[in-house]
Amino acid sequence: MVGIVPPARGVGEFVVVDALPEVVVVVFAAVTHLADPWFLFAMLAGVYWFASDRLTARPRRAGATAIALVAAGYAAVAVGKAVSAVPRPPEATGPVDVPAWLPELLAGWYEAQLVSGGFGFPSGHAAGAAVAYGALAAVFTDAWTRRRRYGAAAGVAVAVAASRVLIGVHYLVDVVAGLALGAAVLAIGLWLAGDPRLRRGGDRRADASRLDPTPVFGLAAAVSVVAAAVAVAGGHTGEVVEAGIGVGTGVGGAVGWRLVSGAEPPVRVRVAAPGLVVTGGCWVGAYTLGGTLSGALGTTVATAAAVVGVIAMPAAPALWARVGG
């Protein structure tokens, strides 16, 4: 299947990009952070822990489903990158011309945004943005109006996708494919979660009170296993590690959700603070181990432990009381 996506797939987009003022590129280098994996998962974990029932009838179910959807989205991206195995644009390899007016304190940050490795198709940032912000719009049904929610989600996703082209780390076709992939994963994942709006004869005005994230976490794990198999066959070490993270996220999410009823109140800060230290340590361990193929298993285990902690956090007081009793 390798060779489906041509390495040279530009349509002249960088001619337009090169004509833009430097300040535009700097601004979009910041916009791209809105779909960095660390940012999305931190944001969604916070929403999952602290969202109230003013946003939807069952905020814990909604938040966990959003996390599961993003995990499935990244798993699909991992498969796409391992299958296509095409490079990013030459601009992504550097060197970077840092604007002379940019403060020295920001020069290193700017260079880091404009240099990126790994495969380029499809765009993980574009797919992640489409799934994450689309999921928030879909599951938190009492926030704003339906039109405003989806309009904001689409605006952020398109802005992120544009940023990846403007900073030179993706071709236009990469981000278009990423947005389409993200939208497809969002629809399939919501259907698997039991969203009544996507079922035959379902009520489009229904809320997210009956969503079950478990099948979506399972989808993320299964697709990640496929990604790992394709990556191993192709000898793509980086994609094997990413697939391991996907497996850990899917398995950890499914296990963690078994400890939660879905009707818990928001997590208290005094519970979240130590929990954040523990889960954060697991995440750091996961990425530290993920530098080599031999560390992929450790990365998977550490990721699973971190995600179990994140998903089970709302039930922590009850679990602690049960153990103490």
**What is the rounded CA–CA span in Å between residue 41 and residue 36?**
9
| pLDDT band with cut points at 50, 70 and 90 for residue 268 | very high
Calculate mean pLDDT across residues 248-263: 96
pLDDT at 1: 38
pLDDT at 26: 97
Position 242 pLDDT exceeds 50: yes
Q: What percent of the chain has pLDDT over 90?
A: 73
Position 195 pLDDT exceeds 50: yes
**What is the rounded CA–CA span in Å between residue 210 and residue 12?**
47
Q: What element of type H or E holds 129?
A: helix 124-139
Phi, psi of 142 (to 5 degrees): -100, 5
Q: Are 244 and 220 in contact (CB under 8 A)?
A: no
Q: Of 134-148, 201-215, 230-244, which gets the smallest average pLDDT?
A: 201-215
Position 298 pLDDT exceeds 50: yes
| pLDDT band with cut points at 50, 70 and 90 for residue 175 | very high
- Give this prediction's pTM: 0.93
pLDDT at 293: 57
Q: Of 222-226, 238-242, 268-272, 276-280, which gets the smallest average pLDDT?
A: 276-280
Structure tokens at 272: 């979240």
Position 318 pLDDT exceeds 50: yes
Structure tokens at 113: 């945004």
pLDDT at 280: 76
